């Protein structure tokens, strides 16, 4: 078995919260919080931050992390991790961990890695959670997923899916934006042109489904705290401060 890498794409620019990887909480930049969560995962051999910004590069080196510079021309995180994977032929499995998920559970990272390591049918893996709140179910910013009986994704959408013509006999699932890839799947996906459904929904994972790739899901029971806005940052600070007081 080849090595498994957690690659954390991190950009400085953000329309809603510029420089968020470097914003400090309890004395540590957000990217360090994410990196330390990745270090707690059991199934990864390598952790690499992939960035196009020298400020982030320097910050990661400062706390002793492993970091590589990438092109400024990448349009998405998967292209950025592809560049890093190309430099490391020893890597067979890749976990794409977002640099703004400081509360990700290490066990969830391992679940994503395990599916692509052990399931020959899975090209890609990801996480979902059961949605019960109607506001979440109808929120177009929270991506929904429907799955088959074996946990493979059938479709992802910003709309409420499935449509309830009859009362739902099952669950609504929300998608968490962490992915595991077999090396060949990552190379294939990032080499393919954008697809009609991907462009319609603005969801990159639909490119994989439209091209016949299999995405295996795991159901988790935590609600992620991703940092996209100043309000999200304050929420994370409150969580950290409450744990410190305890």
Kindly list the domain boundaries of the chain, sorted by start residue.
3-126+175-245
Residue 245 pLDDT = 53
Q: Provide mean pLDDT across the span 128-156.
A: 95
Identify whether the C-beta of residue 5 lies closer than 8 Å to the C-beta of residue 93.
yes
Percent of the chain with pLDDT over 70: 98
CATH topology of domain 3-126+175-245: Spore Coat Polysaccharide Biosynthesis Protein SpsA; Chain A (3.90.550)
Asked if residue 96 has pLDDT above 60, the reply is yes
| Three-state secondary-structure class, residue 42 | coil
**Long-range contacts (CB closer than 8 Å, 24 or more residues apart) made by 142-145:** 142/174, 142/175, 143/174, 143/175, 143/177, 143/203, 144/172, 144/173, 144/174, 144/175, 145/173, 145/174, 145/175, 145/217
Q: Provide mean pLDDT across the span 182-191.
A: 96
Asked if residue 30 has pLDDT above 60, the reply is yes
- Going by pLDDT thresholds of 50, 70 and 90, the confidence category of residue 193 is very high
CA-based nearest residue to 71, from 83, 57, 88: 83
CA-based nearest residue to 127, from 239, 217, 242, 12: 217
Q: Provide mean pLDDT across the span 214-233.
A: 87
């Amino acid at each position: 078995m080849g090595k498994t890498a957690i690659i954390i794409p991190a950009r400085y620019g953000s329309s809603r919260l510029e420089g968020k990887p470097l914003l400090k909480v309890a004395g540590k930049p957000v990217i360090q919080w994410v990196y330390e969560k990745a270090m707690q995962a059991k199934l990864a051999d390598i952790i690499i931050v992939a960035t196009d910004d020298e400020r982030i590069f320097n910050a990661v080196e400062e706390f002793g992390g492993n970091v590589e510079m990438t092109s400024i021309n990448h349009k998405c995180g998967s292209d950025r991790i592809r560049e890093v994977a190309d430099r490391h032929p020893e890597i067979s499995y890749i976990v794409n961990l977002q640099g703004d998920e400081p509360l990700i559970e290490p066990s969830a990272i391992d679940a994503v890695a395990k599916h692509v390591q052990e399931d020959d049918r899975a090209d890609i893996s990801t996480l979902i959670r059961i949605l019960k709140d109607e506001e979440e179910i109808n929120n177009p910013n929270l991506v929904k997923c429907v799955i088959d009986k074996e946990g493979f994704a059938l479709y992802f959408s910003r709309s409420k899916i499935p449509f309830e013509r009859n009362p739902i006999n099952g669950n609504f699932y929300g998608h968490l934006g962490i992915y595991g890839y077999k090396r060949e799947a990552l190379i294939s996906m990032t080499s393919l042109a954008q697809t009609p459904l991907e462009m319609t929904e603005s969801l990159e994972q639909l490119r994989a489904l439209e091209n016949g790739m299999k995405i295996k899901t795991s159901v988790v029971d935590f609600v992620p705290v991703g940092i996209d806005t100043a309000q999200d940052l304050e929420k994370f600070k409150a969580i950290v401060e409450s744990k410190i007081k305890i």
